[in-house]
Amino acid sequence: MQDNTRVKVVTAKNAGFCFGVRRAVDTVLELRSKTDKKIYTVGELIHNSIFVERLKEKNIFVVEEEDIPTLEKDKDNIVLVVRAHGIKKELVKYLEEKGFEYVNATCPYVERIHEIVDKNTRDASLCVVMGDKKHPEAVGTISYAHCDAVVCSDESELEQNLKEKLTSFEDCFVLTSQTTYNNEKYVNCQKLAKKLYTNSKIFDTICSVTEKRQNEVVQLSKECDVMLIVGGKKSSNTKKLFEIASEYCREAYLVEKADELDEDKISALCKETLLQPNAVFTVGITAGASTPDDILEEVKVRASEIIITASGETTT
């Protein structure tokens, strides 16, 4: 925390790289130090364009799943890295059959969901994953199901799918979620599933890191005049943090880096707040699980500079 009594910047305790992302990043950097082969991550290692550019400078590239076959002729000179989100079961089989060298950096929490789906869907009629249909983690997870499987984004889609795909309230279905799904929404989905179907197998699969961050951002957003969410615009967990912050704080902003801060707007808000007697202007900052520490630090420093300058201008 930095403050000059009239303004302060408060950073969430759980901001920045989570355990799974740090592990994946360390894995790929360690691999870089051990091999001269070209390294490809299957999809972006983390959803942060600045970081992806930094990896390119180290000869670590991104290959999308559908383009992997184009690397087949050169497979003896490359190593693939499976990122924290994991990949589809079929793709693991393909890599093994074709003899690709690969390192698996799937987060253990994601692997746990794959195991749940694999073990529990053998006798089930349906497997539902609450999450984002296009997100690689959700796409990977449903590939482990031995029954019909679908990704649902919200409670109403869940209800519609259950009614369409199950024939009796006694049909067995498996309910899981993406690790970054909204906790409050998932609790409601679980209640609905229990109310409508007697034979549902429901699993708590939201990552505790995500839950902690989401709870923390609710609290911080209530206490701050401005909330800054630092992270990639394509990062699912960053977008969720932004959604939550926007619910509780009227001035919430998602920024990828320090120079995206709206200096004029933040200065104006700060000056307006400080017109009130004894007011303190507070900026809250949190960051998605894929935001590198130095980028978060730059945003903190820049935000502090902006509000300290603005507060100086209001001093008579």
Active site residues: 137
Beta bridge partners of 148: 126
d(CA 174, CA 161): 13
Residue 29 sits at φ, ψ, to 5 deg, of: -70, -35
d(CA 211, CA 183): 6
Decide if residue 217 touches ligand SF4 (CB under 6 A): no
Positions in 34-73 near ligand SF4 (CB under 6 A): none
Decide if residue 107 touches ligand SF4 (CB under 6 A): yes
Decide if residue 205 touches ligand SF4 (CB under 6 A): no
Decide if residue 210 touches ligand SF4 (CB under 6 A): yes
Look at residue 80 and give its three-state secondary structure: strand
CB 42 within 8 A of CB 87: yes
Among residues 208, 232, 228, 206, the alpha carbon closest in space to that of 217 is found at 228
CB of 303 to ligand SF4, least distance (A): 24
Decide if residue 289 touches ligand SF4 (CB under 6 A): yes
Decide if residue 15 touches ligand SF4 (CB under 6 A): no
CB of 211 to ligand SF4, least distance (A): 9
The first and second tokens of residue 123, run together, are: 């006798």
- With CB under 6 A as the contact rule, the residue among 7, 9, 10, 18 that binds ligand SF4 is 18
Size of the site for ligand SF4 (CB under 6 A): 14
Decide if residue 209 touches ligand SF4 (CB under 6 A): yes
Number of residues assigned to the chain = 316
- With CB under 6 A as the contact rule, the residue among 7, 39, 60, 84 that binds ligand SF4 is 84
Residue 237 or 282 with smaller CB distance to ligand SF4:
237
Residue 200 or 205 with smaller CB distance to ligand SF4:
205
Helix or strand run (H / E) with residue 40 = strand 38-42
Q: How far is CA 152 from CA 39, 60, 89, 132, 209, in A?
A: 34, 34, 20, 7, 22
Decide if residue 21 touches ligand SF4 (CB under 6 A): yes
SS3 content of the chain, % helix, strand, coil (to 5): 50, 20, 30
- With CB under 6 A as the contact rule, the residue among 14, 27, 143, 179 that binds ligand SF4 is 179
- With CB under 6 A as the contact rule, the residue among 19, 100, 203, 248 that binds ligand SF4 is 19
Footprint of ligand SF4 (CB under 6 A): 18-21, 84, 107, 109-110, 179-180, 207, 209-210, 289
